[in-house]
Structure 1
């Protein structure tokens, strides 16, 4: 009986911690890459049309906003949002950066998620080694995380 109560309390506490922790979605690739190198984690680059793309919004609601994804992301990746909004104002430097990365990774549709390992060379330049890409995966967070984990 004590063991069951202990397990229940630990589960509730863990769920509360995960839901209380908000994810950080970086928008500056240089800073995100430096952080990822320091943390020894790959980048999850989320190419999205946040204010117009229905599938992007659906992926956010069904996967990225769930406690299961939050827990997985905090342990496994550094998150980067590369947004292509139509109505929301965006800083010119971020817009330019996002377009360059869109071209580099040949992103043609949204949502597209690329997993990359950033590496800083001797000239302090960042190289991105591709691990794979995905998009919207039906089936909720468990299915999406399974596909993502297979690339890492």
Structure 2
């Protein structure tokens, strides 16, 4: 059995992850500019990409499992391309698989870094909003009417004389 199907799956996964990376770059700009409408649309696009990636990943796992079974190897719960690389006979197939795998891993690493940046920017924006709200809200100790300042009749003085 050849590795062509696995290579196609890896290439498609790489393309989808690169497309998701473009969405992540656009998300960064939307966060920087505070464009909430654009950010909402980008989040929907991101969800669609993730669904497609999940489907392709299942397909890749099935192809790896089929390849390993054809080679007479019992597949594991999580069949990986590294396992295929260990059991590939020709150097050409190993080179193709290694290149496709490394391309995907590089894209995944770049995507992870971009998502980390987006998370930090979002957190900073949230901190800025909270700081602004704190500045606008009056503090309870700055208000003119606190419980300690309210004066009423004291318990020692009564206006009703019961002895009369």
Range class of TM-score, shorter chain = under 0.3
Q: TM-score, normalised by structure 1?
A: 0.25
Select the structure of larger CA radius of gyration: 2
Instruction: From the two aligned structures, give the one with the greater strand fraction.
Output: 1
Name the one with the larger helix percent.
2
TM-score by length of 2: 0.24
